[in-house]
Structures are given as C-alpha cells and as structure tokens.
Amino acid sequence: MATHCPYCALQCGMVLREEDDAVSVLPRQFPTNRGGLCQKGWTAPELLSHPERLTSPLLRDPATGELRPATWEAALDRITTGLRDVQEQHGRDAVAVFGGGGLTNEKAYALGRFARVALRTRHIDYNGRFCMSSAAAAGMRAFGMDRGLPFPLSDLGRADTLLLVGANPAETMPPLVRWLTEHRERGGKLIVIDPRVTATARQADLHLQPLPGTDLAVANALLHIALTEGYVDGDYVATRTTGFTAVRRTVAGWWPARAEALSGVPVADLEETARALGTAARAIILTARGAEQHAKGVDTVTGFVNLALALGLPGRPGSGYGCLTGQGNGQGGREHGQKADQLPGYRKIDDLEARAHVARVWGVPADELPGPGVPAYQLLDSLGTDQGPRALLVFGSNPVVSAPRAARVEGRLRDLDLLVVADFLLSETAALADVVLPTAQWAEEDGTMTNLEGRVLRRRALRPPPAGVRTDLEILAALSARLRGSTPADRPARERPTDSTADGQPSEAEAADPCVVFAELRRASAGGIADYAGISWDRIDAADGVFWPCPDDDGPDSPRLFTERFATADGLARFRPVEHRPAAEEVCADYPLHFTTGRVLAQYQSGTQTRRVAALRRAAPEAFVELHPDLAERLGVTDGEPVRVLSRRGEFQAPARLSPGIRADTVFAPFHWGGPARANSVTNDAVDPVSGMPEFKICAVRVERA
Ligand code: SF4
C-alpha cells in the first residue's frame, strides 16, 4: 500500500507490505525522494507492535500517584468531569489545548475546531511554534503567503548556486541530498552557512562558519556586497517589490569587514558568496532552524528574503527563497487552526470576515468564537498559575523534552489540575499526565499531510489500530459529544452509525471520519490563503499530490508561486529593513561559552519514537556534548568523559565528543533526549516578538567535568 513516512516534512513516499502480521517498508518512486528513504523511514513499522506501545487508557490513581490501566468510559468520564469543573470554577480559558506539527491536516483542523467550538477556549497552540514560525512570519510579511518552498523540490537540482543557511539536510532529511548531488553534478555551487562543520557543510563548495546568532549581519553584508558590485536586479526591484530604499540605507552600514568582525566570517568568503549568488543564472536561498530559532529569527529570515528579492530570485524557475520545514506536517499543521491566532485556511482569527466564514461552516454564531490565544511558550509558561489555564490536553507533542527551559515547563505541567495526553507511547509528558489516551499510529489511519513543498499527500491506513486504541479524531469526537451532553461512547466511533445531532454539529461518527473532516476542512479553507477547496482525496490519489492553493475542483493546483504576482494586496513583495541585534543572552565570565542545539540523523524531534527503535538506538544511543579539542584541553576534558553543561536556567549531563568541526567558543548538543541528558534544560526561553519562536539556537553556558 502506497503511503508516506511518518516523520519529517520531506514525507518520503514508501510502500508498506503486511505479511503474517509483520509490516515492512519497500521503496516507492515519489517525486521528492525518488525511492530513497533514511534509516528512520526504513525502520518506522517497528513501533506498530512495540512492546511499550500503549493499548489501554491510563488513569492516575490518587491514592498511589501511579498510572493504572482503565476503561475508555472511565478515562473519558474523568476528562469530561475535569474539564467541566475547571471551566466552571475558572472560566472557559482555563482549559488549553496543545497540538503538534506531526498531526494530519484533518486532526490539526479538528483540534482547532474542538478548542473553539467544544471547549470555547482561546488557548490553543502547538509545537510547530518551536519549528518554522519565524520563517512563516517572515514569509507572510514579505510575500503575503507562507508556504515553505514556493516551488517544487526538483528546482534545487536546477539552481546554479544554492545557499543553505542553518540547514543540515544531510542529517535531517538525507534523501534530499540527491537533489544537492544533482545540483553539483550539473556544475552548481553549494554554499552552507552553519556554525558547525555538519554533514551538509562537508559537501559544500564553500562553508561559512559564523558565530551563532550573527546570521543577520551576514545577510546584510551579502546584500551590501551585491549592491556595491552591481548584482541587484533593478527592473525586478522596481516592478515586483516595494520598500527597497529603506533596506538599501540599512545595509549600507554593513560593510564586509564589519560583518567579519562580528561573525568571524572572512570578507573573502562573504564576497565569494555574494558573487556566486549575484552572477548565477538561477540561485536559491534556503533557511532552516539554525537561522530561525532565535529571538530575532523573523528578522534574520527577512535579511535573507531581502537578499533574494534584491537579486530578483522569487518567482523565477530554478530560483527563489524557501524554508526547509521540519516536522512531518509542519506545513499543513500551521494552516488549519492549531495556531493561537489562526482559523482554517491560514485565516486570522481576529478578522471579522474570516470569523464569519468559519463560523458558518462550523454552524455556530461568529461572536461565540473565542479570540486569539498566546504563542506556545507563553501558554506553557502560564499553566497552573493564577493567570493561566488549569487544564491541558496534549496531542502529538512532548514539551517536557522539546520546550525551551524545559525544567520550568515540566514544573508548570505538574502544577495543573488536569493534564491529558494522547500518544501511542508513554512520552516524558505523558508520564506526568492524569489521563493518558492510547492513540493510533500512522499506518493505522487515513488522512492527508502537506509536505515542505505545500504538496498535499495521502496517508493511508494499512490496518486498523489494535484493540483498545482509538484515533485522535475518535477521541476528539467522543469528547465533543460528551461535552455537548450526548450519549457516552463505549465503542469506537468508526463502529457506530452516522447521523447528525440536533444542534447541527457533526455526529460523533461523522467527526471521527477523516474523509468527512477533510470535506469540511475544504469548505472552511475556501477563499483563504491556504485554499484546499479544490483538493479531494481522489484528486491526490490520481496524481503525486496536489499543491495548494487549489480553489477549484477542476482548476489547476499551484506547484510554483509568485511567478506573476505575490500574495499581497497590490501583488508586490515587501522589503523590510532589519538590523542585527545581539542574542538575548550574551556570554560572560560565569557562562563564557555559546551553546547551540540541533539534530542527529538517527533520531527525530523529542525522540519518543526513534529512541525506541532498536537500529536507531544502536546508531545514536545517547546524547553528547560536542566540544572543540582546544576547548576540551582548556577544560581538561577527554573524549567520552561525562561533562555538565550549565546555564542560568539549569543543567544537563552527557559524554563529551571532541570535534574540530565546531568553533572553539561554541558547544553543541542534540535535543532528542530527556532526563539528565535533556539539552533543553539549559536553553533560553527568550522569544521572537513577532513569531513567538524561542531562542533555542544560542545561550550562554559553562562546561564542567562531571
Ligand atoms: Fe522519513 Fe524524513 Fe527520513 Fe524521508 S527523510 S524517510 S520523510 S524521516
């Protein structure tokens, strides 16, 4: 059966085969991965029958404090009663919902609807806020639209110059490297900006290794050089953009030697980069988390968008600016209502027309829809406090490992009156819950995902979930029905007949059916920025996915955006002047080193899944702290020796890994592990004022022998 990998935003095509209850993965020719998969994709089915898989709801026993198996009836009763009690005592906003960028479009949509209609709370946000929110905000303000790649991935192979900023696809999405290889075989030039010599940087023709947190200075210097050396496309700037004069003034102050003094990138490398971009017939600039996960992430991305616009790249085949989205449905997950300020179709929740449209689809009065909530970290940090929610429902997320300043977030979760977590494994967050609901996995459910290109794909169920397990949609449908006061659910909704409820809301069976939910999503998104109205499951099946926007059943989809106009009111892209500013926390005598986090090939996000896959555990068994040998010598640390990394917010411990591929003033650790090796114990919770993105990529630490 043809489907897609459950993990990252590349959403590699794969075929699943079931024999004697064992599921195996076969390669599938799909336009993005062309038969390739990484180790995570090949091993994904192992979790379907993993011994640690949850197959029964768990309820915390008040007497012993332990989680114990319970019936669905008891679990749903406990949740419904708990939510009602909290809302009666503290108001509707005392309940919050936290989603994830791995949920299908149908689930992300249903979660937003559940929060706004069933709970009527304004508090919903999701872990995608920690992933692509800075690039999303920068894209919206420059282009009027946020789609990770506004062109098909195959364009990478056509570009003459490719600049990757804070992106390490060789480790995060290895099949994408085939496009980089094709690009280089055609004589293209690959330039990587990264503070570490990553697996991707090793393949580059030129590697710029700036101090973490100085990418924006580098971007401004590159545009400065493009101006002085005459690479700016004057016609394009005049006819397709607005606001260049102010940007020209700002970058005038970023002469290359100034940028070198700040970032450590030699002037010659800055000039070579600007020339490679400025003289190429086709050039692409891509950013990823390294540039985006900063308290100035939106401005940093804007700096590179300014550069791309000045060179006349966006909208031209084989050229442009794009963001490499991270999570499996990071793109679709941010389009359909999980974000605190959004309604489906990428509509703003404070836009009266948008509210009226969505309210009509949902069958509720527009003035009953709550207003905007707060971004993820602000929400998590308010939990259990006098000002914040007292109950939280978590779907597809593990903030105890993935949130910044994680020990504080963990404390907030412990302070809640009610924590409910839906997951298929006992994640670190689920382990704190009052109620844990066992959910279906990717090969057990139908739905759609939207990959990093904005291509909507079909996820297909190979087999039903095991006994005792329900899908997220079934859980949301059952909770909605109970909160409305209808019949308690003692059977999964998929086994019950479809009918409508008296109040015009979908019946429990309808709300649990992904096909019905997608049909409603299409109506809700119609006319919005992310318009899915013309996308049907059949249409996706008939092609290799459908690119949004696609407003009409029989009209074209949109693989390539911005060829004629941008999605702004006047069709022009917006330049915006952006100035470098220091990191939220600078090094000092007590914390003299820069700390940055990232990923390793064999693990995914908070590691709940991949840490339990035997082959991946063997490949990447534990966290580590990467140190330059010179720094290690100064600290008296040897390779493999346990070290403690301390910041103002906490500490973690892991073995040292010595590498000349990192700057001697910078320390790196992967963030996939919890417990004593949790890198996010030390990260900074300062956030970008526009996107709400926390500053994962730089803070001040000291390192000690453990
Ligand atoms: Fe899965 Fe991403 Fe690996 Fe492809 S690159 S197999 S989508 S984890």
The CATH number that applies at residue 621 is 2.40.40.20
Q: Is 275 exposed, middle or buried (0-12, 13-18, 19+ CB in 10 A)?
A: middle
Domain endpoint, select from 547, 574, 605: 547
Ligand 1 centre from 42 Cα, in Å? 9
Residue 624 has pLDDT above 60, yes or no: yes
Residue 588 lies in a domain: no
Is there a single domain that holds both residue 316 and residue 438?
no
* Confidence (pLDDT) at 135: 96
Strand order in the sheet with 283-287: 206-208, 189-193, 161-165, 283-287, 320-323
Record the tokens describing residue 368, joined without a space.
Answer: 């009953």
* Confidence (pLDDT) at 21: 85
Is there a single domain that holds both residue 409 and residue 266?
no
Residues 487/489/492/494 CA torsion (nearest 10 deg): 10
Chain mean position to CA 349: 21
Q: Could you give the CA distance from residue 448 to residue 456 in angstroms, rounded to a whole number?
A: 7
CB 55 within 8 A of CB 84: no
Q: Which residues pair with 704 in a beta bridge?
A: 644
- Nearest in space to 685 (alpha carbons), one of 700, 670, 696: 696
Is there a single domain that holds both residue 371 and residue 468?
yes
* Confidence (pLDDT) at 498: 44
What does the buried/exposed string (b/e) look like for 123-143 if buried means 16 or more CB atoms within 10 Å of the residue's CB? bbbbbbbbbbbbbbbbbbbbb
Looking from the CA of 239 toward its CB, the CA atoms found within 13 Å total: 10
Given pLDDT bands bounded at 50, 70 and 90, which one contains residue 499? very low
Residue identifier of the C-alpha nearest atom 5 of ligand 1: 173
CB 124 within 8 A of CB 340: yes
* Confidence (pLDDT) at 501: 61
Domain endpoint, select from 294, 324, 354: 324
Ligand 1 centre from 8 Cα, in Å? 5
Atom of ligand 1 nearest to the CA of 8: 2
11, 40, 449, 459: which to mutate for ligand 1, most atoms within 8 A of CB?
40
Is there a single domain that holds both residue 201 and residue 286?
yes
Structural domain containing residue 160: 133-324
Atom of ligand 1 nearest to the CA of 10: 7
Q: Could you give the CA distance from residue 627 to residue 678 in angstroms, rounded to a whole number?
A: 17
Residue 613 lies in a domain: yes
The secondary structure of 598-643, three-state, reads ECCCCCCCCCCCHHHCHHHHHHCCCCCEEECHHHHHHHCCCCCCEE
Given pLDDT bands bounded at 50, 70 and 90, which one contains residue 490? very low
Instruction: Express each pLDDT in 100-110 by its tens digit.
Output: 999 999 999 99
Record the tokens describing residue 612, joined without a space.
Answer: 């339990």
Ligand 1 centre from 44 Cα, in Å? 10
Which amino acid type is present at position 465? P
Atom of ligand 1 nearest to the CA of 172: 5
Residue 344 has pLDDT above 60, yes or no: yes
Q: What angle do CA 542, 546, 551 make, to 5 degrees?
A: 115
CA distances from 421 to 121, 429, 432 (A): 18, 7, 9
Record the tokens describing residue 338, joined without a space.
Answer: 């999980």
Q: Is the CB of 86 under 6 A from ligand 1?
A: no
33, 34, 331, 616: which to mutate for ligand 1, most atoms within 8 A of CB?
33
Given pLDDT bands bounded at 50, 70 and 90, which one contains residue 94? very high
Ligand 1 centre from 32 Cα, in Å? 10
Residue identifier of the C-alpha nearest atom 4 of ligand 1: 12
Residue 664 has pLDDT above 70, yes or no: yes
Is there a single domain that holds both residue 285 and residue 177?
yes
Atom of ligand 1 nearest to the CA of 174: 5
Residue 511: count other Cβ atoms within 10 Å of its Cβ.
25
192-206, 480-494, 508-522, 546-560: which has the minimum mean pLDDT? 480-494
**What is the residue whose two structure tokens read 């000349």?**
660
Q: Could you give the CA distance from residue 655 to residue 638 in angstroms, rounded to a whole number?
A: 9
Given pLDDT bands bounded at 50, 70 and 90, which one contains residue 465? very high
Record the tokens describing residue 546, joined without a space.
Answer: 């459908």
Residues whose CB falls within 8 Å of the CB of residue 668, separated by 6 or more in sequence, listed in order = 195, 196, 595, 596, 597, 598, 625, 626, 662
Is there a single domain that holds both residue 168 and residue 69?
no
Q: How many domains does the chain have?
A: 4
Q: Could you give the CA distance from residue 251 to residue 306 in angstroms, rounded to a whole number?
A: 10
Residue identifier of the C-alpha nearest atom 2 of ligand 1: 8
Is there a single domain that holds both residue 148 and residue 248?
yes
Q: What is the DSSP string of 473-528?
A: HHHHHHHHHHHHT----SS-GGGS-----TTSSPPHHHHT-HHHHHHHHHHHHTTS
Q: Which domain CATH number covers 262? A: 3.40.228.10
Q: Is the CB of 10 under 6 A from ligand 1?
A: yes
The percentage of the chain sitting over the pLDDT mark of 70, rounded to a whole number, equals: 97
Q: Which domain CATH number covers 16? A: 2.20.25.90
Is there a single domain that holds both residue 177 and residue 70?
no
DSSP single-letter state for residue 577: -
Is there a single domain that holds both residue 541 and residue 668?
no
Residue 561 lies in a domain: no
Q: Could you give the CA distance from residue 430 to residue 488 in angstroms, rounded to a whole number?
A: 24
Chain mean position to CA 636: 38
CA distances from 476 to 11, 337, 374, 377, 479 (A): 25, 15, 22, 24, 5
Residue 368 has pLDDT above 80, yes or no: yes
Rounded to a whole number of angstroms, the CA Rg of the chain reads: 24
Q: Which domain CATH number covers 410? A: 3.40.50.740
CB 521 within 8 A of CB 456: no
Residue 189 lies in a domain: yes
Residue 399 lies in a domain: yes
Instruction: Express each pLDDT in 370-418 by its tens digit.
Output: 999 999 999 999 999 998 999 999 999 999 999 999 999 999 999 999 9
The percentage of the chain sitting over the pLDDT mark of 90, rounded to a whole number, equals: 95
Ligand 1 centre from 681 Cα, in Å? 27
Q: Which residues pair with 394 in a beta bridge?
A: 98, 421
Q: Is the CB of 38 under 6 A from ligand 1?
A: yes
Instruction: Express each pLDDT in 242-296 by its tens digit.
Output: 999 999 999 999 999 999 999 999 999 999 999 999 999 999 999 999 999 999 9
Domain endpoint, select from 488, 515, 547: 547
> Please, what is the end-to-end C-alpha distance for the chain in angstroms?
50
Looking from the CA of 437 toward its CB, the CA atoms found within 13 Å total: 27
Record the tokens describing residue 614, joined without a space.
Answer: 């035997």
Instruction: Express each pLDDT in 411-438 by its tens digit.
Output: 999 999 999 999 999 999 999 999 999 9
Residue identifier of the C-alpha nearest atom 3 of ligand 1: 38
Record the tokens describing residue 20, joined without a space.
Answer: 């004697």
Q: Could you give the CA distance from residue 26 to residue 14 in angstroms, rounded to a whole number?
A: 6
Q: Is the CB of 5 under 6 A from ligand 1?
A: yes
CB 193 within 8 A of CB 165: yes
Interval 200-213 mean pLDDT: 96
Q: Is the CB of 609 under 6 A from ligand 1?
A: no
Q: Is the CB of 11 under 6 A from ligand 1?
A: yes
Ligand 1 centre from 451 Cα, in Å? 11
Interval 2-11 mean pLDDT: 96
Is there a single domain that holds both residue 603 and residue 657?
yes
Residue 29 lies in a domain: yes
E strands, 1-118, are 2-4, 13-19, 22-27, 58-60, 67-69, 95-99
Ligand 1 centre from 37 Cα, in Å? 6
Residue 105 lies in a domain: yes
Chain mean position to CA 508: 30
Q: Is the CB of 12 under 6 A from ligand 1?
A: yes
**What is the residue whose two structure tokens read 């990252």?**
8
Atom of ligand 1 nearest to the CA of 44: 1
Ligand 1 centre from 460 Cα, in Å? 17
DSSP single-letter state for residue 465: P
Q: Could you give the CA distance from residue 442 to residue 11 in angstroms, rounded to a whole number?
A: 12
Atom of ligand 1 nearest to the CA of 173: 5
Residue 496 has pLDDT above 60, yes or no: no
126-135, 362-371, 533-542: which has the minimum mean pLDDT? 126-135
Is there a single domain that holds both residue 28 and residue 172?
no
Whether omega before 549 lies within 30 degrees of 0, making that bond cis, reads: yes
Residue 685 lies in a domain: yes
Is there a single domain that holds both residue 385 and residue 294?
no
